[in-house]
Amino acid sequence: MLEKLTTPRTGGLLVLAVIIVLLPLFLPNNYYYDVAIKIGINAIVVVGLNLLVGYAGQISLGHGGFFGLGAYTSGVLTVYYGWSSILALLAGVVLVGVISFVIARPILRLSGHYLAMATLGLGIIISIIITNEDWLTGGPDGMYVEPFTLFGWELYGEQTWYWVIGVLLVISVWLALNIIDSPAGRALRAVHGSEVAAQVVGVDTTGYKVLLFVVSAVFASLMGSLFAHYSGFISPVQAGFFHSIELVTMVVLGGMASTFGAVIGAVILTLLPQLLSGFEDFEMVIFGLILMLTLIFMPKGLVPTLSALFKDRRGRKP
């Protein structure tokens, strides 16, 4: 039992849950809750994106687009068409699922720079559509979204949202860890390690890449929907290029192919703009700098690098 608790899997999940439960003791007011919720939302998107980018080794610079698509589907359907929040959220999932599936096959034949460019283009197209179709989306001015309601119960206030997002974060980390530690997960990592080797032992590599592209897009769409209801206001920024870059930077900084690393990346890079609130204009520059420095000095990312160091230290002791 004790042995099981110290495995990265169970132990890590436990630590995450304990932190989420205890954190409110240190959150003096709703501003801090708000930051924690935004961290949680980013973390869930990044945990999903990490499956694609970190584990399967397929870059996507378009996931901000899927986040925005989820957000706007929820916003438009609930506000203008009177759909219930949960149905609108599911509609977003279906829409993003179908779009990402249709696009994934041609796009994932590409690799490296070409894949990056294609996904970048995809994200930009989504954000342009959201900006230009102002009769539906409010255009660059954004739109207001009503709170999330479920069976007459209104999800409102930072403290309630904190627990919802907290539970969802634990669930998503659990799901991601499960996927990685399964035949499908090994197949994915094999795609990263040697695609041709995976193919000749029977792995449908394209199929898996498409599947993970869709799964990670759906993670983003779900969180986009919830973000729309939580913040009450959405704008094309959520679907924008910078948001996509932010997400990828979180994956890279925290650690490619490390689910907990993805969470840490989200924590650091969501906190950073809060700490740098006086330097708003430089935010993008600083993100770029972090991305560059990470790739140069610890290409494996924060968590894998630190855990390797730790193992090394422990290994050297007699």
Q: Tell me which residues touch another protein (CB under 8 A).
A: 175, 178-179, 181-187, 189-190, 192-194, 196-205, 211, 257
Q: Which of 65, 117, 116 is nearest to 95 (CA)?
A: 65
Question: Least distance (Å) from another protein to the CB of residue 260?
Answer: 17
**Which residue, 104 or 198, is less far from another protein as judged by CB?**
198
Gyration radius from the chain CA atoms: 19
**Which residue, 189 or 241, is less far from another protein as judged by CB?**
189
Question: Least distance (Å) from another protein to the CB of residue 12?
Answer: 15
What's the 3-state SS for 278-295?
A: HHHHHHHHHHHHHHHHHH
**Which residue, 120 or 188, is less far from another protein as judged by CB?**
188
Question: Least distance (Å) from another protein to the CB of residue 257?
Answer: 7
| 247 contacts 64 by C-beta, under 8 angstroms | yes
Residues 53 and 36: their CA atoms lie apart, in Å, by: 24
User: Would residue 244 be called left, alpha or beta, if left means φ above 0 and alpha means ψ between -120 and 50 degrees?
Assistant: alpha
**Which residue, 211 or 220, is less far from another protein as judged by CB?**
211
Question: Least distance (Å) from another protein to the CB of residue 179?
Answer: 6
Residues 275 and 240: their CA atoms lie apart, in Å, by: 22
DSSP conformation letters of 34-91:
HHHHHHHHHHHHHHHHHIIIIIS----S-HHHHHHHHHHHHHHHHHTT---HHHHHHH
**Which residue, 131 or 205, is less far from another protein as judged by CB?**
205
Q: Which two tokens stand for residue 68?
A: 């925005």
Residues 91 and 171: their CA atoms lie apart, in Å, by: 21
DSSP conformation letters of 162-224:
HHHHHHHHHHHHHHHHHHHTSHHHHHHHHHHH-HHHHHHTT--HHHHHHHHHHHHHHHHHHHH
Question: Least distance (Å) from another protein to the CB of residue 74?
Answer: 24
Q: What is the dihedral of CA 66, 118, 59, 165, to 10 degrees?
A: -10
Question: Least distance (Å) from another protein to the CB of residue 44?
Answer: 15
**Which residue, 46 or 198, is less far from another protein as judged by CB?**
198
Question: Least distance (Å) from another protein to the CB of residue 226?
Answer: 20
**Which residue, 200 or 275, is less far from another protein as judged by CB?**
200
**Which residue, 74 or 205, is less far from another protein as judged by CB?**
205
Question: Least distance (Å) from another protein to the CB of residue 3?
Answer: 16
Determine the Cα angle at 206 with ends 203 and 210, to 5°.
120
